[in-house]
A and B are shown apart, each in its own frame.
Chain A
Amino acid sequence: MNFLRILKIGLLLIALGVLGLFMLFERYEPVSAITLSNRPNNQNSRPIGEITTDFRAEQLIVVSSILGRRQMSYDDDVCIELLMANWSNRQNTGDFAVDVITAGETFTQVIDAASVKDNANRRICFDDLQFRKLVDNDEIRLVLRGISSPAGAAITAWTTTDLSAGRLINAPEQLASRSFIFHFVSERYSASSYRHAWIIVFFGMLAIATVFFPSSVGDRQEPLTSRSDEE
């Protein structure tokens, strides 16, 4: 084996190694989101309106009617995924808040309006909101309130007429029979997931390496000749 060949193989292995590391560091997603409740269907979807400074919308949720049977620990943290929009990627400013209110506690997350993507689920996680606090309360409230976004630069949330996850309360007439489009999730970090990712990337890089294996018959493509060609 001459030097040039060794160099080529070495460079190939380095390139594949770099590619594998890039995938692991850039593409590996360590967080698993376990879905805890079914999301209402998009029926007659409509934005709730701009979430400006004085805006407030509140939804009553009967927890037992939306949480399915899941393999959950009572100490698992719970997040909410809310379908939001930013008016076709316009520049929005200011902040808004999402509250989850249980019988004894209020959990709040303040969010920068500029960080909301258009027509995408926004995952909102709360400090100390565990699964037990959801199931211990049969009724909870989900509140969306504006803080500092001006009109013309505020985001919005989508609503639906599917009321399977509750309905908006204390709302104007046009929103009375509507619901936010949301579901609860639980984020989990799995130690084994990273090991799996390493091994899957390793298999992938080895598979790509096979393309560069030397061919046993010179790797030529010859025109196929069948009997009909010679008749």
Chain B
Amino acid sequence: MALKMFDQGRSFSPAIIFLAILMGCKAFYLAFFVTPLWDIPDEIGHLAYVMQIANGGGIPVLGDAMIPAEIMSHMRQADSPAAGNWIAQHPPIYYFIAAVPYWLAQQFTSDVEILYRAPRIIASLSAVILLLVLYRTARLTGLSERASLCLAGCIGWIPMFSHLASGTNHDVPLFLASALSAHFMARFVLQHNVRDAYIAAIWLSIAGAMKMTAWVLLPPFVFVIAWELRGTWRPWLAHLSGTTAVALSAPLVWMIRNFFEYGDPTYTATTDGTWRLEVPLQVSFLEFLHSQPVLEFFMRSFYGYIGGIGTGAGNLTWFQVGSLPRIAFTMTLLCCAAILLWHFSTIMRGTTLKTSSRFAHSLLFCRLEKELWPFARLFSVVAALSVFALSAYFSMKGDDQMNLRLYGISTVLALGAAACICVVFDDRDKHRLFFYGLAAFLFFSLVVIVNIYEFYLLDGRLRATHGRYFYPVVPWLLVSLSLALSGRVWGKRLLMLAFPMLVLAETDAYINQVLPFIGGGQ
């Protein structure tokens, strides 16, 4: 037994079980008594998908799939015809699961106020399990019970997360599947048990069968497995192929289905859409970052983007949670960035270079790492400073020179750039795991932002800057944060401050901003 992980005894402390139940009660209460129907992003489309599966209609086909007139009329509070369902672009796993409570509810009631809310249970339950998974992952990295509880709780008491946990949507279940994948990947990196790599691959595959956003994590995942596998080339190749095949399996099935259905494996609602601009904009990526509040919108909507088309009876009505709660979030984000930076610099000072049993490592360096490391270290510092300068400078707008959120997220992105280099050299498992989280976050962010940029060129407007898109990679970043905090007494104290602060912030956001916005809820 090489890994001292505090796994002995009870798996979950009474406190985290209580907190998870509390999360479930909160999400359930919000789902059935507070959050108005259709105020969750795209809820009409998600529910129509669920209903089609529950009623035996099979997986909807984009273009043919419709949102029934009964939903449209309920949403608009007036007779309305059926409308096209763009949500049919998503893979079906979540909808199969959410169809179960809908089907069961159908057996007992025909009241649409209950029926339409029934699938919301899945997101609420996912939030409960997610807290337990995040807790276990934090414990795995060496955080104490109380600190792990606080770290998991910090996610559970973000207004956007609570809002989504009370609605019919696939983002919270996706978060859960991604967190499970990250958990087993962390176990694999720390324990070198190849079974964990396969379990991580299964969960990543499931995540990819919920939403295509999770596919972005496939390259970092395959890299981690390739870099971590031990032994000679035969088991290396066998397990790398095996885990990659498992991780790719569900996405591949969806691609094949899309190919036969549409002739395009990655077909979505925007693939052959007509764009607003006849001539695409001629704007460089940096000009785009400079002119549009991309990172700022992502962060604001990550914390709280409340509303939809329910409160406005068909008109899009929403707001971003602001004021004191957002200040609390900004402070937490800034603290996290500072902790990651501190831990990174500590690692850089004490990097160990040893002969490794990792196949890819030995293949790449042939014992040259000691000669290369000084250059690599210098290069990683230059890379980090460059990314920070570019991100901070090009994201600042007008009067936003002191936007601390941007400094915080720019620091995390910059550390990701340095991590891409350092991860190749460091021989300590926990150090590499720390680097993987940061590097994956940078990779994921770049892919998402470039995607948004391409939409912007064609549409001329900044669209789809939703913080929830980052849910698949947040567990990876939390692993890095846990590692940075573990073993530090002040780390636990900081979390014990941050969690109650975020709870108060969310409570304040709900009673001072959300409830007035939704008119007391339904």
Interface set of A (CB-CB < 8 Å, partner B): 19, 23-24, 27-35, 68-71, 188, 190-193, 196-197, 199-201, 203-204, 206-208, 210-211, 213, 215-217, 219-231
Additional A-B contacts beyond A23-B511, A208-B499, A213-B18 (11; CB < 8 A): A27-B508, A32-B515, A68-B315, A69-B76, A69-B78, A206-B22, A207-B22, A211-B15, A221-B488, A222-B6, A224-B190
Q: Which chain A positions have C-beta within 8 A of B332? A: none
| B486→A35 contact, CB < 8 A | no
For chain B residues 98-149, which have a beta carbon within 8 Å of chain A?
A: 141-147, 149
State whether A228 and B503 are in contact (beta carbons under 8 Å apart), knowing that A28-B511, A219-B146 are contacts in the complex: no
Among candidates A28, A204, A220, A227, residue contacting B429 with C-beta atoms closer than 8 Å: A227
CA A230 – CA B344 in complex, angstroms? Answer: 22
| A230→B2 contact, CB < 8 A | yes
Per-residue interface assignment for chain B, residues 487 to 522, with 1 indicating a CB less than 8 Å from any chain A CB and 0 otherwise: 111011000100110011011101111011111110
Q: Which of B189, B496, B500 has the most CB of A within 10 A?
A: B500
Closest B residue to A70 using CB positions: B313
Could you say which of B26-34, B168-176, B240-248 contacts chain A? B26-34
Q: Is the interface of B mostly helix, strand, loop or mixed?
A: helix
28 A-B pairs with CB atoms under 8 Å apart are A19-B504, A27-B512, A29-B513, A32-B520, A69-B313, A69-B315, A71-B313, A192-B520, A193-B515, A196-B33, A199-B29, A200-B26, A201-B507, A201-B511, A204-B504, A204-B506, A207-B19, A210-B18, A216-B14, A217-B145, A221-B142, A221-B143, A221-B489, A223-B486, A226-B428, A228-B429, A229-B429, A231-B354
Q: Which chain A positions have C-beta within 8 A of B315? A: 68-70
Q: Which chain A positions have C-beta within 8 A of B357? A: 231
Q: Is the interface of A mostly helix, strand, loop or mixed?
A: mixed
Q: Which of B78, B142, B150 has the most CB of A within 10 A?
A: B142
| B191→A29 contact, CB < 8 A | no
Decide if B42 is an interface residue (CB 8 Å cutoff): no
Q: Tell me the smallest distance from the CB of A18 to a CB of chain B, in Å.
A: 13
| A28→B512 contact, CB < 8 A | yes
CA A203 – CA B157 in complex, angstroms? Answer: 10
Q: Which chain A positions have C-beta within 8 A of B516? A: 29-33, 193
Among candidates B19, B354, B428, B429, residue contacting A210 with C-beta atoms closer than 8 Å: B19
| B9→A216 contact, CB < 8 A | yes
Q: Tell me the smallest distance from the CB of B315 to a CB of chain A, in Å.
A: 5
CA A188 – CA B357 in complex, angstroms? Answer: 68
| A32→B504 contact, CB < 8 A | no
- Report how many residues on chain B are interfacial, defined by Cβ distance under 8 Å: 76
| B34→A196 contact, CB < 8 A | yes
Q: Which chain A positions have C-beta within 8 A of B149? A: 210-211, 213
Among candidates A28, A204, A211, A223, residue contacting B142 with C-beta atoms closer than 8 Å: A223
Q: Which chain A positions have C-beta within 8 A of B150? A: 211
Q: Tell me the smallest distance from the CB of B159 to a CB of chain A, in Å.
A: 11
State whether A222 and B500 are in contact (beta carbons under 8 Å apart), knowing that A210-B149, A227-B192 are contacts in the complex: no
Among candidates B9, B16, B503, B508, residue contacting A217 with C-beta atoms closer than 8 Å: B9
Q: Which chain B positions have C-beta within 8 A of A33? A: 516
CA A204 – CA B29 in complex, angstroms? Answer: 13
Among all A-B residue pairs, the 5 with the closest Cβ atoms: A190-B520, A193-B520, A224-B142, A213-B15, A204-B507
Q: Tell me the smallest distance from the CB of A61 to a CB of chain B, in Å.
A: 19
Decide if B251 is an interface residue (CB 8 Å cutoff): no
| A71→B3 contact, CB < 8 A | no
Q: Which of B142, B190, B518, B519 has the most CB of A within 10 A?
A: B519
Q: Tell me the smallest distance from the CB of A210 to a CB of chain B, in Å.
A: 5
Q: Tell me the smallest distance from the CB of A68 to a CB of chain B, in Å.
A: 5
Q: Which chain A positions have C-beta within 8 A of B446? A: none
Decide if B483 is an interface residue (CB 8 Å cutoff): yes
Decide if B257 is an interface residue (CB 8 Å cutoff): no
Q: Which chain B positions have C-beta within 8 A of A230? A: 2
Q: Which chain A positions have C-beta within 8 A of B489? A: 221
Decide if B13 is an interface residue (CB 8 Å cutoff): yes
Among candidates A71, A190, A199, A219, residue contacting B77 with C-beta atoms closer than 8 Å: A71
Q: Tell me the smallest distance from the CB of A169 to a CB of chain B, in Å.
A: 29
| A228→B145 contact, CB < 8 A | no
State whether A211 and B4 are in contact (beta carbons under 8 Å apart), knowing that A68-B315, A224-B483, A226-B430 are contacts in the complex: no
Q: Which of A23, A30, A210 has the most CB of B within 10 A?
A: A210
Among candidates A70, A193, A210, A215, residue contacting B22 with C-beta atoms closer than 8 Å: A210
Q: Tell me the smallest distance from the CB of A73 to a CB of chain B, in Å.
A: 12
CA A220 – CA B4 in complex, angstroms? Answer: 13
| A27→B511 contact, CB < 8 A | yes
| A203→B520 contact, CB < 8 A | no
Q: Which chain A positions have C-beta within 8 A of B141? A: 224
Q: Which of B18, B486, B508, B513 has the most CB of A within 10 A?
A: B508
CA A207 – CA B15 in complex, angstroms? Answer: 9
| B191→A224 contact, CB < 8 A | no
Decide if B459 is an interface residue (CB 8 Å cutoff): no
Closest A residue to B356 using CB positions: A228
Closest B residue to A31 using CB positions: B516
CA A130 – CA B25 in complex, angstroms? Answer: 39
Q: Tell me the smallest distance from the CB of A208 to a CB of chain B, in Å.
A: 5
State whether A221 and B77 are in contact (beta carbons under 8 Å apart), knowing that A196-B515, A228-B427 are contacts in the complex: no
Q: Which chain A positions have C-beta within 8 A of B491? A: 221
For chain B residues 14-64, which have a beta carbon within 8 Å of chain A?
A: 14-16, 18-19, 22, 25-26, 29, 33-34
Q: Tell me the smallest distance from the CB of A44 to a CB of chain B, in Å.
A: 16
| B4→A215 contact, CB < 8 A | no
Q: Tell me the smallest distance from the CB of A118 to a CB of chain B, in Å.
A: 14
Decide if B167 is an interface residue (CB 8 Å cutoff): no
Decide if B317 is an interface residue (CB 8 Å cutoff): yes
Q: Which chain B positions have C-beta within 8 A of A220? A: 144
Q: Tell me the smallest distance from the CB of A204 to a CB of chain B, in Å.
A: 4
Decide if B153 is an interface residue (CB 8 Å cutoff): yes
Decide if B460 is an interface residue (CB 8 Å cutoff): no
Decide if B312 is an interface residue (CB 8 Å cutoff): yes
Q: Which of B150, B428, B430 has the most CB of A within 10 A?
A: B430
Q: Which chain A positions have C-beta within 8 A of B499? A: 208, 211
| B512→A192 contact, CB < 8 A | no
